[in-house]
Structure 1
Amino acid sequence: MTTLEIKIKNHNFILHPSGAVFWKAYGLLLISDVHFGKISHFRKHGVAVPEEAIGKNFEQLTAVVAYFNPGTILFLGDLFHSSLNREWNLFRNWTANCPADCILIAGNHDIIDRIHYEAIEIRVCDEMIIDGFLLTHHPEERLGYYNFSGHVHPGVQLKGIGRQFLNLPCFFRKEHQIILPAFGAFTGKHILAPSETDVVYAVTKDAVILVV
């Protein structure tokens, strides 16, 4: 497992191949776009998605929490894909055994009533500001702040020899903003074209790699 440490505004952040970011100064784990419930939602409507993908999301979440041992997990929106389904019970059981506090910044897919999150001691808010960093679901540029966000599911297209192309999820970094890749399985990617001032960190199964 190869992580990558970067510095933003004199703070150190560790990028993990799962798509998570660990903020060392605060023991804070940032995760975006898990989309729990999406697989069950699609299977209910006849889409042939392997049920094993549900377990993969929880296994990956458990693994990254064990790796960093954060004090707090901050989900940057779209934790759940739609309304309550059987994956909610799995998540409720997972949080009961999670050693970290959990906070959700609500995304456009987070339609589950906040009372359900309160019942399992997860705080829900629209955004957070910590030490000059603006934490949101949708990417936002706000004067005086550096923004961490998700929503886009960023990806990058790499070109190889012989007209070969490889699409990978990525951390997409701009001057005042970094967009996290989607954490969840079966979420897809939106390929972005970086400008000369953008920085892209591609994500493979086992590593985070500086591309440009």
Structure 2
Amino acid sequence: MCLFLTANIVAQTTTSGNTPQRPAQRAYANTGGGILIAPIPDQVYMGAPYMPEPIIRDGNKTLIKNKDYVVTYTNNINVGIAIVTISGRGNYRDSKDIRFNIIPKSVNQVSVTPVSDQTFRNSQITPELQLVDNGRPLKQGIDYTLSYTNNLNVGIASVTITGRGNYRDTRTLNFKIVAKSISFSGATTAPTRQENKPATNQQQQQQQKPKPKPRPVRR
């Protein structure tokens, strides 16, 4: 039996007032001969391969993986369009590619180490952040970028995380810049001025004692 041709059937739900709602997307690609394949919804990036199992029906029968068909996956890790290739086997033949989207994950859903208080240093303070997604450290410049505001003087500074690549959205964290102590190590003091004290009796006697005359040198 030929497994794949194309057509679309979309089921739509309504409210109790018969006002049409957005389609529920319980749609199947009618591939001919009663073969229907359920669409694969968007998947949020998780840093590992996505391998969604397609649902395939032949009339009232649900096909069995590895008996009626096998699947392979392409581009199913990073953000973009992933492909599930369904290949018939046994009573079914031919193949069909089903595409689904892997969409970026919000940076608000990853762990971020808080920024500790920073001491004023008379230059812009740009502390590094540690972002972790399910145990996997994110890389600055690849997964996110950082920008800083009010990060020079004492007060409340902020750092903004902007997702890129497999991540999206922005996230802002605040941190404190605290005053630097005026004291410093290795301080020196001016030498104290010594006062002239009167000489003691012993010092006066030593000063008045005549010095011995040098002895003549014999030749």
Q: TM-score, normalised by structure 2?
A: 0.20
Q: Which has the larger radius of gyration?
A: 2
Kindly indicate whether structure 1 or structure 2 has the higher relative contact order, using CA contacts under 8 Å at least 6 residues apart: 1
Q: TM-score, normalised by structure 1?
A: 0.21
